[in-house]
Structure 1
Amino acid sequence: MTGLTFRHAEAVRSAHPGLAAGALYGTDVDATDAGSPDVVAPRVAEYTARALARLATGPESQFSEVLAWRRAFARMGLRPTQYRCASESLLRRLRKEGALPRIHPVVDLCNAVSVAYAVPVAVLDADRITGPLLEVRPAHGDEEYTTFDGRTEHPAPGEVTYADSAGRAHARRWTNRQSGHSAVSGSTRRILVVAEAMHEGGADTVAQALNALAEELTAHGPVTPVTTLLTTAAPEFTIGLGARTP
């Protein structure tokens, strides 16, 4: 059995002391649900309704959770209105269109929980990550990032990304844009979910979001989730990746 350890580099934690993060590992994702997103539709509707109710009181740009990420992006030298964190982008789309795109049951749940709690929630196909380490760290500049349309990009040196042991980048600009290489698909059986927050009280928000996801994944089984909160005292989450069951 091989293992995969997820963590944030010390350089990232030092630059962003307000970071709160947690991870979830789920096995036995049922590929037969990949073409049937309606199985989670009622739950997705409930979470998006919560987000819409909050949006009715003011735009996402005023949310404390979003403002904290905008400040973090500004510290990284990025224009916050040009590069938005994933939760802000989803909330903006929800506000304008009234609904989120339907992709895959697991992705739909993660997106719905993301808007309900207003924090970025990334879900990756764990079998598409090369271990033993997946680290949120400044890029060296030679990492390979695959877009959803199959193009290859290289994050700029210093850009914060999710980088694995093979030098593959699984995100651009941290929580801005996820890679198509590790996106959940019909062949996905194991997932790694990461929730991150920057606002005051973010640790509680992350815990609530991950607990909600764990409950939903269990209810729509047979996914078996394990969750953990990541702190400066316990910054790593290690999972075992044995031979995958066909």
Structure 2
Amino acid sequence: MPLLKQLPFLFCLIFISACSQRGKDVLATVDEAVFGFPNVIKTKEALQDIPYANSYLKIDNGHQVLIVLALAELSPKDPTQTQLKWLSADRVMLTTENGRLIKTLRLLNNNISGLNANNSIDPLTLNGKKPNNHEWHAIYDWQPQYRYNYEANLTWNYIDSETIHSTIWDKETDYYQEEVSIPAIHAQFTNHFWLDKTSHEVVKSIQYLGPDMASIEMTILKPFTR
């Protein structure tokens, strides 16, 4: 059964309906229901008063915007994992799993249609402390133009301990870099993850949609809780 503690049942119905021809009207309803506050909120008190999990988002070097958790549901491929769907006021939707960006909708130019481990283990799916070094493999799918089944080799490396700050919290973190190589198109890029030293969950990340594509920076302000 979907995990819906963060939002009332109304939002489940909204996102089911969003797949219909009335999707634009439904998303307008979401805007009114969720984004009845400024899109960028700078005070700690204002952020804490929002009743939903929320994050700051930057696309490339653009402006910082606020996104909220619109839906939490079990992964269709692994029911032990939870997928979080985040929504911005301009109707961009990001799906994350264990802090990894696995799908995007309504971004300009490029969107991830899917990102899945390929006969290997994504280090972010491991409970507790993550390995200092780890190699794994994934399949990337992108839109537009149906660019599917691009095999990637990923190398996960611990870099250092870092203290990072947000409007709400200061955290001691473990900083990791992830080198991504896609042999078929001779392309490489690097993802960045900061994990809370205690919970080992991602609290900040900079992830690329793909080679020569936008970077997505997320800072989790108020995390999802089951």
Normalised by the length of structure 1, the TM-score is 0.28
More strand per residue: 1 or 2?
A: 2
What is the TM-score with the length of structure 2 in the denominator? 0.30
**Structure that is richer in helix per residue:** 1
